[in-house]
Amino acid sequence: MTVVIVFLGTSAATPTRSRGLPSIALKLGGEVLLFDVGEGTQHRMMAAGISPLRVSAIFITHLHGDHFFGLPGLLQSMAMNNRIKPLLIHGPPGISSFLEAVFKASGFQPPFRINVREGLSLKYRADRYVVESFQVCHTGRPALGYRYREKDKPGNIDVGRALKLGLKPGPLYRVLKEGRPVVLGGRVIRPEDVVGPPHKGLRIVYTGDTRPCSSVVEFSRGADVLIHESTFTSDYEEEAWEEGHSTARDAARVARAAGAGLLVLTHISARYQDSSPLLSEASSIYPFTLVAEDYMHLAIRGPW
């Protein structure tokens, strides 16, 4: 399956003419996962051709307005579009009381079920993937990053070796690929005898807002894509640190330390109309770097 990352909003704190507030959609076939819902997200989804009805789960990184003020409008539009499918919303403590206050003040109650899971260590398991949260280093308030991790796909059967053991293609191949031994003519054949190494599932990490942080390095080890905030260039290093943000140089160092595949910089301060200084700063340290732009699509082929 090809996973498509769609950057819906790539600005920091305030929108600009070309950048909306933070939101990233992960398109998994017909299903969509949303990471952060800055104000205006639903409009950008419309422009990107992403239906709110396809969103199965939302993951909010932290309760700074630029990352979640788009939630009430999106929920209301889901209701107007006759959504009946339940929706999962994950976020740090406080997200439930925010939603309750919105529903109480507006008198709007979604006609579909919303399951809110709030906490610092969240895990959402689906058949083929898991989304886990981890704490990042932002301001004094709780802030999370998220990792999308697919299960590894079993390796291929070495048919030549299997035939030598008298094992012809058939249902037993599947049993072995599932990791169970089979018995053939009184002899046990174990998966490791004939099954090659597993195909690694995709891993995509999104930091939300953070200073350079060891937990990001930890959770991004071996990630295919690391989407790291990069609010400033290092000319504003002190400001970045004080406000709990990263520079492009910080993000590149984290990507290098983690051995991530591709680094994508996002959460770009409104002061940069031209993002090339961020790109050149990061890519001098970590060459596999892109700066996210609104509506940018990244398609990554996974093993499934």
64 lines the binding site for Zn ion (CB under 5 A) = yes
Q: Which stretch binds Zn ion (CB under 5 A): 49-57, 58-66, 175-183, 284-292?
A: 58-66
27 lines the binding site for Zn ion (CB under 5 A) = no
Strands, sheet with 55-59, edge to edge from the N-terminal-most edge strand: 114-118, 87-91, 55-59, 31-35, 23-28, 2-9, 297-301
Query: Judged by CB, which is closer to Zn ion: 62, or 249?
Result: 62
Give the count of alpha carbons within 13 A of 271, CB side only: 8
Q: Which stretch binds Zn ion (CB under 5 A): 47-55, 63-71, 99-107, 170-178?
A: 63-71
Number of Cβ atoms within 10 Å of the Cβ of 301: 9
Restricting to residues 107-146, name those near Zn ion by CB under 5 A. none
39 lines the binding site for Zn ion (CB under 5 A) = no
* Of the candidates 11, 13, 8, 7, the residue with the CA atom closest to the CA atom of residue 244: 13
21 token code pair: 């507030």
Q: Which stretch binds Zn ion (CB under 5 A): 41-49, 52-60, 70-78, 204-212?
A: 204-212
Query: Least distance in Å: CB of 66 to Zn ion?
Result: 4
Query: Under DSSP, is residue 200 helix (H, G, I), strand (E, B) or coil?
Result: coil
Residues serving a catalytic function are: 66
Query: Least distance in Å: CB of 267 to Zn ion?
Result: 6
Structural contact between residues 193 and 204, judged by C-beta atoms closer than 8 angstroms: no
DSSP 57: E
Using only C-alpha atoms, what is the Rg of the chain? 22
Query: Least distance in Å: CB of 206 to Zn ion?
Result: 12
State the number of binding residues for Zn ion (CB under 5 A). 3
Query: Least distance in Å: CB of 231 to Zn ion?
Result: 8
User: Cα–Cα distance between 177 and 157 in angstroms, integer?
Assistant: 7
Give the count of alpha carbons within 13 A of 122, CB side only: 27
209 lines the binding site for Zn ion (CB under 5 A) = yes
Q: Which residue has the tokens 């070309």?
A: 18
Q: Which stretch binds Zn ion (CB under 5 A): 51-59, 86-94, 203-211, 233-241?
A: 203-211
Among 66, 118, 250, 281, binds Zn ion (CB under 5 A): 66
Query: Least distance in Å: CB of 153 to Zn ion?
Result: 35
Query: Least distance in Å: CB of 62 to Zn ion?
Result: 6
Rounded to whole angstroms, the maximal C-alpha distance in the chain is: 72
Query: Judged by CB, which is closer to Zn ion: 144, or 157?
Result: 144
Query: Judged by CB, which is closer to Zn ion: 144, or 182?
Result: 144
Structural contact between residues 201 and 147, judged by C-beta atoms closer than 8 angstroms: no
Query: Judged by CB, which is closer to Zn ion: 120, or 163?
Result: 120
294 lines the binding site for Zn ion (CB under 5 A) = no
Query: Judged by CB, which is closer to Zn ion: 66, or 281?
Result: 66
User: Cα–Cα distance between 200 and 181 in angstroms, integer?
Assistant: 22
* Angle ∠(32,295,36) on CA atoms, nearest 5: 50
Q: Which stretch binds Zn ion (CB under 5 A): 40-48, 61-69, 79-87, 179-187?
A: 61-69
Query: Judged by CB, which is closer to Zn ion: 209, or 224?
Result: 209
Structural contact between residues 168 and 109, judged by C-beta atoms closer than 8 angstroms: no
Q: Where along the sequence are the contacts to Zn ion (CB under 5 A)?
A: 64, 66, 209
